[in-house]
Amino acid sequence: MPASEHLEERILVLAPQGRDASVIVNVIDRDGLSCQQVETFDALCKAVTKGAAAALITEEALSGADTGPWRAWLAAQEPWSDFPLVILLAKKIDQNDARLKATLAPLGNVILLERPLSAETLRSAALSALRARRRQYQARTVLMERQKVSEELVALNATLEERVQLRTRALAQANDRLTAEIIERENAQRAMMQYQKMESLGRLTGGVAHDFNNILSVIQNNMELLQLLSTDEKVRHRAEIAKAACGRGARLTAQLLAFARNQRLDMKPVRLESLFDDVAQLVKPLLGPDVELVLDVSPEADSVLADTTQLEMALVNLIINARDALATHGRILVKARQAQAPAALPAPPYICIAVSDNGSGMSQEVSAKVFEPFFTTKGPGKGTGLGLSQVYGMAQQSGGMARVESAPGEGTTVEIWLQAARAGDRLGATGAAADSPVTRATVLVVEDDDAVRASVADALNAFGYDVIQSSNGEEALLILAQRRPDILVTDYLMPGITGADLARAETGILPGLPVIVATGYADMEAVEHAVGDGVVLRKPFHIEELNVAIKRALSAAPAGPVPR
C-alpha cells in the first residue's frame, strides 16, 4: 500500500490523561486497524492534514485547546470529505447542554460516546467511522472519474459530436448503476444496524432473564411451600394469587426473549380459547377505545400443537400490526377454525388462526415482501421489520405455514396454519413418576443465589429428601469427593464453575450420578447442548416439577450405590 493510502487509513487517538490513549490503541489494534497516538490537539491538526480516516479523542483533550486550525482545515475540505470525529464524553455529561453544543458544533462531523463504554462498543465505533471515511474515499474516486470523463467529452466534442453522444449515454448508464449500488448499500447498512440492535438486545435480555427468573423462583417456590404446608385456606388462596403473578412474570420474560433471539420451540397442545383470552388481556390496553377486538374460536378448533409463548407473541405482533393499519378506528377479528389445509402442507388436520383488519390494506407487491426479515411499511424508527418474519418462522418451525391476503382499501388478513392437537398429545409422558412413592434420597443442591438455594432446599425437605447445600461449583466438587449424594441439582450460570462444567467434572468423581440443571438463562438450546444427557429445568419451575424430575432421574439411574 502506498504511504499516502496508508496514512488515509489510520485512526488518530488523542487521550491526554493517564493510560487512556494506550488502552484505546490496544483495543482498536485488535481488529488490524492502523492506529496512531498523538499527544496534543495541535499535533492532531497537523497529523490530519497528512491524511487520516478518523480521529478519536477524549473530552478533556478539548479543554483549553485552540480549535481555530481545526476549523480552518474543516472549511478547506473538499466537497466529498466529511471527516468523522469520535468524542468520548465523561460520564453523566448532559449532551443537550448549551455550552457543550456550542463547543462541539464547530468541530464538524462529531460522534458522541458516553464513558464508561465496553471494548466492543469502542471497536464498533472505530470501525463505523472507518467505513464512513472509506465511503467518502469512494465518492472522491467517483468525482475524479466524472471530472476526467467530462474533460474527455469536452476534447471529443471539438472533433466528433457522435462520439460525445455515445459517451454521454455510457455515462448515464454508469450513473444509473452507481445510484442502484448506493441504494442497495444503504439498504444493507440499515438492515445490518437493525440486526446489531437486536443482537445487543439479546445480550441484554439474556442477563435480565437470568436474574429475574431467579427472583421469580424464590417467590414461586415459597408460595408453593405455603400451599403445601399451610392449612389456612386464606393463606393458600393468597399464595395461589402470588403464584399466578409469577406465571405472568415468567411469560413476560419469555416474550421479551422472543424479540431478541431464536428459541427452541417447546411443542405441546395449546388451548386456543385460553390463549386468545391471555392475548386479549395483553393487547387491549394498547388498542385504545376506538379499536374493537373480536375473538372467535370455532368449536372444532380446540387445540393446536405449538409453543405457547411463541404463538402468543405471534398473535400479539399481528394484532399490533393490524392496529397500526387502522387510520383512527376500526375492527380487528382474531378467528380460529379447522379447515382444509393448503396443498403445501401434508395430510394431518390443521387449524387456521386468522387475524383480520379493515384498514388500508396493501398492494400485491408489498404483500409479497411482508415476511422478509427487516421489511417494514412503517416509518423510520417505528418498526424493526422482524415481527412478521418471526410469525413466519414460528409457523414453519411448528410444521405449518403463514400467508397473507390483502388489497388496497380492503384490509389485511394474516393466516397461521398449525397442526391440530390430538388426544394422545395431551397425555404426554407424565403421571407415573409423580405418583411414585417417596424414597429416602440425598440431593446435593448447588446454587449461587442464597434465596433460591434456600427455597429449593426447603421444598425438597418438605418432600422428604435429605439436602446438602453448596453455594458454588468449587465447593460442590469438594463435597462430591467426600460424600455420595443420590442426585445433583445445580444452577447453570454461576461464577467460576458453571453447572455444565460441574456436570462434566462429576462424571470423573461419581460416574452415573443423575444431574438436573436449573436455569433462567435465555438460550435454552445452548444450555441443553452444554449439559448433554442431564435434565434441564427452566426457571421459574414449580416445586412439583422438580420433585417429578428427581423421581424420574432416580428411577432411571442404575440400582445400587453410585460407583466411585
pLDDT of residue 430: 36
Residue 392 CA to its chain's centroid (Å): 17
How much is the pLDDT for 561?
A: 44
Tell me which residue of 522, 517, 482, 484 sits closest to 502, measured CA to CA.
517
Residue identified by cell 454521454 is: 168
297, 352 in Cβ contact below 8 A? Answer: no
Q: Give the model's pLDDT for residue 562.
A: 41
- What pLDDT was estimated at residue 260? 46
Pair type for strands 466-470 and 487-491: unpaired
Q: Supply 253's cell numbers.
A: 420474560
The predicted structure's pLDDT at residue 445: 93
Q: Which amino acid is at 285?
A: P
Cell numbers at 31, concatenated: 481488529
Residues pairing with 307 in the sheet: 267
Q: Report how many helices (DSSP H) and strands (DSSP E) the chain contains, helices first.
A: 19, 17
Q: 414 has which bridge partners?
A: 355, 404
Q: How far apart are CA 246 and CA 529, in angstroms?
A: 27
Mean pLDDT by 10 residues, the chain (564 residues): 76 90 88 87 91 91 86 90 90 67 82 87 90 92 91 77 80 90 82 63 63 78 81 84 79 55 69 90 84 89 86 86 82 89 78 90 79 63 61 80 87 90 53 49 91 88 90 90 89 83 80 83 57 72 84 73 40
One-letter amino acid of 72: A
Residue 4 to residues 1, 397, 551, Cα–Cα distance (Å): 8, 53, 72
Per-residue model confidence (pLDDT) at position 17 = 87
Residue 124 corresponds to which amino acid?
Answer: S
* Secondary structure (3-state) at 56: strand
Query: Do residues 404 and 416 touch, judged by C-beta distance below 8 A?
Result: no
Q: How far apart are CA 398 and CA 417, in angstroms?
A: 9
Whole-model pTM: value is 0.41
